[in-house]
Amino acid sequence: QVQLVESGGGLVQAGGSLRLSCVLSGRTFTTFRMGWFRQAPGKEREFVAAISRSVATTLYGDSVKGRFTISREYAKNTVSLQMTSLKVEDTAVYYCAAAERMGVSGRAYEYSNWGQGTQVTVSS
- Residue 98 forms beta bridges with which residues? 34, 113
Q: What is the pLDDT of residue 56?
A: 80
**Contact assessment for residue 77 and residue 25, using Cβ atoms and an 8 Å cutoff:** yes
In single-letter form, the type of residue at position 50 comes to: A
Residue 55: what pLDDT?
75
Closest CA relative to residue 90, chosen from 8, 21, 15: 15
Which residues contact residue 64 at a Cβ distance below 8 angstroms, ignoring those fewer than 6 apart?
Answer: 48, 49, 83, 90
DSSP letter (8 states) at residue 108:
G
Looking at residue 54, what is its pLDDT?
86
Q: What is the pLDDT along the chain (124 residues), one digit of tens a residue?
A: 999 999 999 999 999 999 999 999 999 999 999 999 999 999 999 999 999 998 789 999 999 999 999 999 999 999 999 999 999 999 999 999 999 999 999 999 999 999 999 999 999 9
Q: Is 22 exposed, middle or buried, given 0-12, 13-18 or 19+ CB atoms closer than 10 A?
A: buried
